[in-house]
Structure 1
Amino acid sequence: MAEYHYDVVVIGAGPAGEGAAMNAAKHGKKVAIIEEKNQVGGNCTHLGTIPSKALRHSVKQIITFNTNTMFRDIGEPRWFSFPRVLQSAERVISKQVKLRTQFYARNKVDLFSGKASFLDENRVEIKGHGNAQEILHAKTFVIATGSRPYLPPDVNFRHNRIYNSDSILKLGHTPRTLIIYGAGVIGSEYASIFAGLGVKVDLVNPGNRLLSFLDDEISDALSYHLRNNGVLVRHNEQYESVQGDEHGVVLTLQSGKKIRADAFLWCNGRSGNTDSLALDNVGLQPNARGQLAIDENYKTEVPNIYAVGDVIGWPSLASAAYDQGRSASSAIVEDEYFRYINDVPTGIYTIPEISSVGATERELTEAKVPYEVGQAFFKDLARAQITGEAVGMLKLLFHRETKEILGIHCFGDQAAEIVHIGQAIMNQSGSANTLDYFINTTFNYPTMAEAYRVAALNGLNRIF
């Protein structure tokens, strides 16, 4: 059995693990990273963010072709199978894996393949795919093992028509009808994707509104456009049973309703990947969802063991995970770049997409903050009229006395890109983070960024 010694050992090669490993290596630490899969990138690259967003992009192109009258001269509307559309995602995945593998090699980070489990606070054992065993000694460990779909034991996910948000990427056909249980971010994104492929979707939501953490107006807009694209949204419904047969799946709800479809997709919750780490050997106890508690420096209850990414819960975003990994590493090497990641923009890749940062109207109202609203509707922007992407809006929330920007909410094409302009201004100090910036700045015309000027002027007109 081979044994190796390191300063820092990172468990998990997704965004969080990569951020931690790269930062530690650049500070001269001897670093190793352990990845259970055969390739780096984590669930973000192989099962989550990258494939679903690449899939969404392809579907959006199909929708554009099928709805733009200019293309009717070329031919009639075309529909593509789900497996064929997935091929574009696979090309992106391979490029991402190659790029990220190069990062580790360039920064002299040793990559170990296999399952890691703790022997004690300073040693982990790796069981490789060929049953080879290795032990790594380290002063510090970073747990970045990510998460997986929560799978209730009373649903038979071995049935060939019952899927979760990981296994759906192995779907070998295009169902005519689909039930999605769970209307969170992942469920809403897949509802958009399948509806765009012409599938009739039932989106079953255990809650009373879609994505309740969003600004109410944005949530309402998403509900409208999902329904407008043929998605049937069912709120306040809990499942009683899910039964698959050779013809499809029957979902029985606690309300007594029964829904039949060709396939079923479970998108209701995720669990941290901690069950195989032998955490009892170091005295760590995950919560019921497999997540680890951390302090303001990303330390667990064991001082030399840190945790970052989905394995600590909120916000469970690839963007935040990478920054959490870098920050945990900054705490380890004690550099000047440490920050606790709590200012995270929301990016939701439905069709159309959604992005927001800062407070919502409901939060400001409850806090009795005297705010005002500035709006720009995409249908009125020349760039949106040119591209044919007229659905959506940008909403600025600002203090009506100081004009400080308090929240930015965007719904529509390129929302996840547009929001960062406002985010940059919100993070300025003093009078630089006010509505005046957008009023006194010249934006290129025609652009989507011009929405900030339009929204700012709209908001200014509301102040008396």
Structure 2
Amino acid sequence: MGQGRFVDPHQVEITLQDGEVWTAKADFILIACGTKPFRPDYIPFDLDNVFDGDEIVDLTRLPRSLTVIGAGVIGVEYATIFSALDVSVTLVEPRATFLDFIDHELIEEFTHELRDRNVGLRLGVEVAEVVAEPTRVTTRLKDGRSVTSDALLFAAGRMGATDSLALDKAGLTADHRGRVSVEPKTMQTAVPHIYAAGDVIGFPSLASTSMEQGRLAACHAFGLEPPPPPEFFPYGIYSVPEMSTVGMSEEEVRRRNIPYEIGIARFRETSRGHIMGLNSGLMKMIFSIKTHRLLGVHIVGEGATELIHIGQAVLNLKGGIDYFIENTFNYPTLAEAYKIAALDAWNRLIRS
């Protein structure tokens, strides 16, 4: 393992941990260095109770209370994980909403879960100052309120880990967030023999899509023709409870002026949900009124990131509501929610 930096467009200098320096030459180079947490100057990270998204995993003890600044994917995941560990959590976000790429009805259900677990939400308010002391951290907000906790996690954004790569030596530049631009079909940067993949190129910043991007880059570099990527890929948020989504949200369907109907299933309506003692969890399916094709699936609850793949397959194979109504699902499983939601949608469709 070592630290790499460009010498020129075809050469990379690698400094190993023991100080030894190697130079590697290549016809093709792939940049996949990932990201690092954004660390603004007004956050006192050098203290023992103030953490970024990478440092929080090295906690030596569990705090009794935690303030999380930033309600993006990472902030929400950590906030709910600590809440599940009986830590008192307050989530602070300058925007009035959060996770806006997720279907709004799903976020409403998720927000209800957070409030039910006594997670404090401070939405639509900016941080004025963070004052850290040895035993507590006070976050003062611009609306005059403040939040005091044992520890603070700052999770408001990440930056491409490109500042030490000497990109200029390769003829490349990064944007203000350290990200590298690529041609999405080939993963080529502005220098054709240099590729980039993963979080360093920005959205969607998923491990699953990053692997596919790397495969596309390798295939293109060595003259192979990979199949076109599927139109829809699943997005998983490993919060407590999990959320996962594939296809169009209800808001996107409306923007496209597509006549649609929805079907809802709650996990407590399934036999498996009864067995597991689930009181929450929701699956939402969206269908075209004209063609009955599936347009999107959105799930919040137990196993959401596993369940989503059934919807993903049907969506990318351009299937419709008949698949879910006419097929048999294992009993008892949470996957039965697909049939329940499809029947709910069918009852609405026949009345349209």
- Give the letter aligned to residue 453 of structure 1: K
The equivalent residue for 2:276 is 387
The equivalent residue for 1:290 is 178
- Give the letter aligned to residue 107 of structure 2: S
CA distance in 2, matches of 1:390, 1:237: 32
State whether residues 69 and 75 of structure 2, in contact with CA within 8 Å, keep that contact through their aligned partners in structure 1: yes
State whether residues 292 and 300 of structure 1, in contact with CA within 8 Å, keep that contact through their aligned partners in structure 2: yes
The equivalent residue for 2:245 is 356
The equivalent residue for 1:30 is none
The equivalent residue for 2:339 is 453
Q: Which of 220, 228, 234 is 2:122 aligned to?
A: 234
CA distance in 2, matches of 1:342, 1:310: 20
State whether residues 232 and 316 of structure 2, in contact with CA within 8 Å, keep that contact through their aligned partners in structure 1: no
- Give the letter aligned to residue 368 of structure 1: N
Q: Which of 111, 119, 131 is 1:223 aligned to?
A: 111
Question: Residue 192 in 1 paired to residue 80 in 2?
Answer: yes
Query: Structure 1, unaligned stretches of length 5 or more?
Result: 1-112
- Secondary structure class of the residue paired with 2:26: strand
Q: CA deviation at 1:340?
A: 5.0
The equivalent residue for 1:324 is 213
Q: Which of 434, 442, 446 is 2:320 aligned to?
A: 434
Question: Residue 462 in 1 paired to residue 348 in 2?
Answer: yes
- Give the letter aligned to residue 194 of structure 1: F
The equivalent residue for 2:93 is 205
State whether residues 182 and 267 of structure 1, in contact with CA within 8 Å, keep that contact through their aligned partners in structure 2: yes
CA distance in 1, matches of 2:275, 2:6: 57
The equivalent residue for 1:56 is none
- Give the letter aligned to residue 205 of structure 1: E
The equivalent residue for 1:152 is 40
CA distance in 1, matches of 2:113, 2:139: 24
- Give the letter aligned to residue 300 of structure 1: T
The equivalent residue for 2:49 is 161
Aligned pairs for 1:68-83 within 5 A: none
State whether residues 352 and 391 of structure 1, in contact with CA within 8 Å, keep that contact through their aligned partners in structure 2: no
Aligned length: 349
Q: 1:202 to 1:285 in 2, by over 3 A?
A: same
Q: TM-score, normalised by structure 1?
A: 0.74
State whether residues 371 and 400 of structure 1, in contact with CA within 8 Å, keep that contact through their aligned partners in structure 2: yes
Q: CA deviation at 1:341?
A: 7.1
Q: Name the one with the larger helix percent.
A: 1
The equivalent residue for 2:195 is 306
CA distance in 2, matches of 1:340, 1:152: 37
Measured against aligned partners, the alpha-carbon deviations of 1:284-325 in whole angstroms (never above 9, x if no partner) come to: 110000000101311000011000000000001111111111
- Secondary structure class of the residue paired with 2:225: coil
CA distance in 1, matches of 2:268, 2:51: 38
Q: CA deviation at 1:256?
A: 2.1
- Secondary structure class of the residue paired with 2:61: coil
- Give the letter aligned to residue 125 of structure 1: E
CA distance in 2, matches of 1:222, 1:115: 41
Q: CA RMSD in A?
A: 1.2
Q: Which of 237, 245, 254 is 2:142 aligned to?
A: 254
The equivalent residue for 1:366 is 255
The equivalent residue for 1:244 is 132
Q: Which of 367, 372, 378 is 2:267 aligned to?
A: 378
Percent of aligned positions with the same letter in both sequences? 40
- Give the letter aligned to residue 343 of structure 1: F
The equivalent residue for 1:105 is none
Q: CA deviation at 1:352?
A: 1.2
CA distance in 2, matches of 1:328, 1:373: 38
Question: Residue 417 in 1 paired to residue 306 in 2?
Answer: yes
- Secondary structure class of the residue paired with 1:368: coil
State whether residues 361 and 397 of structure 1, in contact with CA within 8 Å, keep that contact through their aligned partners in structure 2: yes
State whether residues 241 and 300 of structure 2, in contact with CA within 8 Å, keep that contact through their aligned partners in structure 1: yes
Question: Residue 130 in 1 paired to residue 18 in 2?
Answer: yes
Q: CA deviation at 1:212?
A: 1.3
The equivalent residue for 2:71 is 183
- Secondary structure class of the residue paired with 1:403: coil
Measured against aligned partners, the alpha-carbon deviations of 1:215-272 in whole angstroms (never above 9, x if no partner) come to: 0110011111011111001101111111111221111112222221111000100000
State whether residues 232 and 312 of structure 2, in contact with CA within 8 Å, keep that contact through their aligned partners in structure 1: no
State whether residues 233 and 312 of structure 2, in contact with CA within 8 Å, keep that contact through their aligned partners in structure 1: no
- Give the letter aligned to residue 446 of structure 1: P
Q: TM-score, normalised by structure 2?
A: 0.97
State whether residues 330 and 338 of structure 1, in contact with CA within 8 Å, keep that contact through their aligned partners in structure 2: no
State whether residues 203 and 231 of structure 1, in contact with CA within 8 Å, keep that contact through their aligned partners in structure 2: yes
Measured against aligned partners, the alpha-carbon deviations of 1:135-162 in whole angstroms (never above 9, x if no partner) come to: 0010000000000111102212111110
- Give the letter aligned to residue 253 of structure 2: L
- Give the letter aligned to residue 195 of structure 2: Y
- Give the letter aligned to residue 416 of structure 1: T
Question: Residue 402 in 1 paired to residue 311 in 2?
Answer: no
CA distance in 2, matches of 1:371, 1:277: 48
CA distance in 2, matches of 1:149, 1:343: 28
- Secondary structure class of the residue paired with 2:78: helix
Q: 1:458 to 1:342 in 2, by over 3 A?
A: closer
State whether residues 4 and 15 of structure 2, in contact with CA within 8 Å, keep that contact through their aligned partners in structure 1: yes
State whether residues 274 and 291 of structure 1, in contact with CA within 8 Å, keep that contact through their aligned partners in structure 2: yes
Q: 1:149 to 1:342 in 2, by over 3 A?
A: farther
State whether residues 197 and 213 of structure 2, in contact with CA within 8 Å, keep that contact through their aligned partners in structure 1: yes
CA distance in 1, matches of 2:4, 2:113: 45
State whether residues 231 and 316 of structure 2, in contact with CA within 8 Å, keep that contact through their aligned partners in structure 1: no
Flag as ranges the 4+ runs of structure 1 deviating above 6 A.
none
